[in-house]
Chain A
């Protein structure tokens, strides 16, 4: 292993001295970049210096020789067997009590003392089996419902940086009844919405235009995009989106989830192999299921495993017919929403080229949030967007609208336009939402005559990096890459979820906590989404509160490891400007 600091420091100094000064890409530019990322991730900067990233085979070998510290390794460090068994024990206790309650409920129902027992049966035909079997929703009834108050919290304001969270109170049996709003609200700092660029609330540039479009085009077209639903606004938007992404053409859907679920079936058939990352979103899973294609799953962001599967699949062909695959599609996401990690796009593009597979990139979280000009993970990592065969993304997050797009080569987009079920059977996107996207893209590109877009993008990455580093300094186990606005804080114990969420809400922080089944049983986490709308003061406030609660709930798992915090400190001093700016400016 080469000593990690020699080159890194020189580069970072250059950055610090000449803010915004272009760095000539030296031979090992990307190696350095990754090195920094590894350090930012709380690793030990032990990644080799002499990486070469050209040619797929080299990549895989390289990875094999000098394994970067993965999330899995980090989890293993914190999650020693004792801790793990305590977490499992917690679940066992809850399940045990749940089964006892189920049993008692059954007895009560048999004795006719429980009026609500009949609810499980259909009113009109009581002979039918229950719609949802007892075992099927055991987890929901007995575990989830206990802490239902921390999920699905309604708000009564725009999902901007501050939100009015509606207070709810529980009545009756907490395992059966959802809490009801009391009418009171609590003003909280919003760390949960995907409002990356701060377009969620009313905007001085967008909103008037959106309202004007509403008057001109109405709120709905009541028609599909292959019929009257394709208005001149929609046509304009598809052009704007394609231009923004740097590809030939784009096709727009009215919903992000449907974009994946309705596109994959027209690209893949039963003679297609889909190689999918294990952390891929449910919409991709649904799309793959609908397509009827064979699917193989590779370990999260593990290019070595991906290459292994690619080689094996091409050599062996279809497992039943033994014929060669008609095509192979690799599906990855730009930023994984539960991990905050970026995809290793460079390596995957190299592999994809080497093995002639197609690449489907879901940029739901990364479009608008990454890259110097907000063009997503391709810009961030210096990949030519034309190397990605299918670019998919949503407008829900960064652009504060709704819907999704598929972009790429003219021919491919034409095929999707003429065969996607959503083009024929779904209402086209609302014209006002279309206008919101157009306006937001104009702001990002600086076409509104101000520098607001660039400021927003800068602030987002500054905020994300600041927040992540500060939390790391305080000893939290934080996941995710540099510049990624998704900041998951590990809390491991599922039992800590309700405590953390309730304490945060009490102190005026709206955060999201996720546990099983969205994550593994032992890897519960608090997920924070940073926004460009947050000010430094607001983030400081949030950090102080999380710090305090972290002490209370004992989730500062990395406080002991001194090495990490020292490194982080020096890193922050040297690098006030995030390195993404430099790299992305070079590539596009």
Chain B
């Protein structure tokens, strides 16, 4: 049947109509592999060209056809841009809205989660009256009146001492006033080196380094060591200078409840939890971990349970950053701070920070530690490298303070702690039954702190109202001859404790002074219905 037209084939099939098997075998011979109707034969006979051509045509079609694209916006024309620029109205540079008494509720509850903090508004505090003459003296001139000064943190009355004034005068004669340059550019004056040396010897550390301002000390020293990827565990009551250092470091910061060792341990376990499971991980080898606490808390006026913190620190292999601004010259037998007071070793604390603006009676800040700690900051501490150095006369004042501390430190410190105890006892008794005001004192040890917070514990509608209540009290006290101050916070500060009044005892205040002051406070509180 091979070949032939369709008609001939059909005719042949008709002739074979009684032998179906022949027809079937004939058809099969054509269709089976090798037959002329088999697809392989088709391809052998250049049939693939047709298929390829077809494919090519399809591809060509797919390529050339307009695919579906969402229509793209044209870039803004110049006129449209101008319009947008014209329309844009910026907010005023300085916010004009301060916190008011009515927007209190969420602030008063004090619940501020880390992830979604409500925008805090700045409270507008009343202006403190201007002091004439020495602001650090135990009694100061305000207006035409001499009032008792419970504001200045001049605990040991060094800022007022004649010896220090003499030293300053000599320095001013010799060096002039300013240092006219950062430490790197001929701003290092011999008295700076002398002070650093003396301070290190006094604290018992290998070295100390002098910053020219207290608030810039933690915010420079902490970011010099803590980098992103490191973990910092900090007390939730730390002051703003430390907070800014923590922010600048970009490390992971975890806060634990103020002075709560159990909470601290929980946090430390949480941080080190990963390590214990897998043995010594790579993370543990490279991740630096720090605990940040203050010797005496600026925001509470209480002591840190440093012994307990230190034990946990050693147990969980953390490093310790200790802020001693208020503790230096106040705690310890000879005024060497919390480490001496709690009977710890100096090298257990890795980085010690302190302000010179309190007991030392000068201005500036120090960071003390091992040689390596201090050396590293001489190139990486922003406030050290990029700022003018401390005026030499203030460094001389600080040296003279150290002289005084070394000379009669133990007596002074003892006298101060006695005064603090007297004041705290009197104040505590006076306000023992008060439902509104309470002296912040959690531990027995806190009586040593000459920095007292009188908290407003009565529930107020808003922070602003609380501030107003306290402000009337402060004003009334000033009229009666006792100069107090509110503890004031910026809206940047994450601290969210009670509003309070701060008082600082000067060693030169006599017991009679203190008793009189407490008497006045009690009387005024009674008048204002705060007792």
Contacts and interface: CB of A to CB of B under 8 A. Distances in A.
Interface of A: 119-120, 122-125, 127-129, 131-133, 136-137, 140, 144, 151-160, 163, 165-166, 178, 181, 190, 192-195, 199-203, 206-207, 210-211, 214-223, 226-232, 235, 254-258, 261-262, 265-267, 281-283, 286, 289-290, 311, 314-315, 324-329, 355-358, 389-390, 394-397, 399-402, 409, 411-412, 414-416, 418-427, 429-433, 436, 510, 512
Given A120-B372, A396-B178, A433-B178, A425 B215 contact: yes
B163 to A, nearest CB: 11
B485 A218 contact: no
Contact of B135 (A221, A421, A425): A221
Nearest to A416: B94
A414 B94 contact: yes
19 contacts: A125-B314, A125-B318, A128-B289, A166-B190, A194-B185, A202-B176, A211-B172, A214-B169, A219-B397, A223-B135, A230-B131, A255-B213, A290-B248, A389-B93, A396-B179, A401-B391, A415-B94, A430-B394, A512-B186
Nearest to B193: A154
Instruction: For the complex of A and B, list the 7 residue pairs with the smallest distance between their C-beta atoms, beginning with the closest.
Output: A427-B357, A415-B94, A255-B213, A257-B387, A426-B215, A222-B154, A396-B388
Nearest to A389: B93
Contacts of B379: 137, 140, 144
Nearest to A203: B176
Nearest to A144: B379
A433 B177 contact: yes
Contacts of A424: 240, 488-490
B149 interface: yes
A401 B190 CA distance: 18
Contact of B151 (A153, A228, A409, A419): A228
Nearest to B383: A257
Contacts of A358: 90, 93
A230 B130 contact: yes
Interface stretch (B10-18, B20-28, B80-88, B408-416): B80-88
A390 B177 contact: no
A323 to B, nearest CB: 11
B215 A327 contact: no
A186 to B, nearest CB: 12
B216 A258 contact: yes
A199 B176 contact: yes
B382 A427 contact: no
A223 B151 CA distance: 7
B286 A129 contact: yes
Contacts of B93: 267, 327, 329, 358, 389-390, 412
Interface string B165-197: 100110011111111110111111110110000
B317 A124 contact: no
A325 B91 CA distance: 9
Contacts of B96: 411, 415
A154 B189 contact: yes
B145 to A, nearest CB: 14
A266 B492 contact: yes
Interface stretch (B1-9, B260-268, B358-366): B358-366
Contacts of A221: 131, 135-136, 152, 159
Nearest to B124: A418
Contacts of B418: none
Contacts of A315: 76, 81, 84-85
Contact of B185 (A132, A192, A390): A192
Nearest to B319: A128
Interface in B324-375: 345, 347-348, 350, 355, 357-358, 361-363, 370-373, 375
Given A230-B131, A231-B131, A258 B213 contact: yes
Contacts of B151: 223, 227-228
A66 to B, nearest CB: 22
Nearest to B394: A430
Contact of B178 (A399, A425, A427): A399
Given A155-B186, A411-B94, A119 B372 contact: yes
Interface in B210-225: 212-216, 219, 225
Which of the listed residues B188, B313, B483 has the most CB atoms from chain A within 10 Å of its own CB?
B188
Contacts of B94: 267, 409, 411-412, 414-416
B42 interface: no
A131 B372 contact: yes
B464 interface: no
Contacts of B215: 255, 258, 262, 421-422, 425-426
B270 to A, nearest CB: 18
A101 B180 CA distance: 38
Contacts of B298: 425
B131 A396 contact: no
Contacts of A429: 363
Interface in B90-105: 90-96, 98
Contacts of A420: 490
Contact of B177 (A206, A257, A422, A426): A206
A356 B178 contact: no
Contacts of B187: 159, 193
A465 to B, nearest CB: 22
B134 interface: yes
A325 B85 CA distance: 11
Contacts of B361: 219-220, 222
Contacts of B203: none
Interface in B453-511: 483, 485, 488-493
A314 B85 CA distance: 6
Interface string B275-309: 00000000011111100000000100000000000
A215 B140 CA distance: 14
A214 B172 contact: yes
Contact of A119 (B95, B133, B152, B371): B371
Given A202-B176, A290-B248, A231 B128 contact: no
Contact of B95 (A129, A290, A395, A415): A415
B90 A129 contact: no
B239 interface: yes
B437 interface: no
A258 B212 CA distance: 10
Which of the listed residues A226, A416, A420, A426 has the most CB atoms from chain B within 10 Å of its own CB?
A426
Given A217-B134, A228-B485, A262-B215, A124 B492 contact: no
B134 to A, nearest CB: 4
B376 A257 contact: no
A181 B193 contact: yes
Nearest to A414: B94
A226 B128 contact: yes
B89 interface: yes
B214 to A, nearest CB: 6
B164 interface: yes
Contacts of B421: none
Contacts of A132: 225, 372, 376
Nearest to B250: A289
B137 interface: yes
Which of the listed residues A228, A230, A256, A396 has the most CB atoms from chain B within 10 Å of its own CB?
A228
B177 A210 contact: yes
B244 A421 contact: yes
Contacts of A210: 172, 177
A137 B137 CA distance: 45
B166 to A, nearest CB: 10
Contacts of B84: 314-315
Contacts of A327: 90-93
Contact of A419 (B248, B382, B490): B490
A223 B213 CA distance: 13
Given A129-B284, A218-B159, A425-B239, 4 more contacts: A124-B345, A154-B189, A228-B485, A356-B90
A432 B98 CA distance: 34
A158 B153 contact: no
A202 B375 CA distance: 32
Contact of B89 (A192, A255, A356, A395): A356
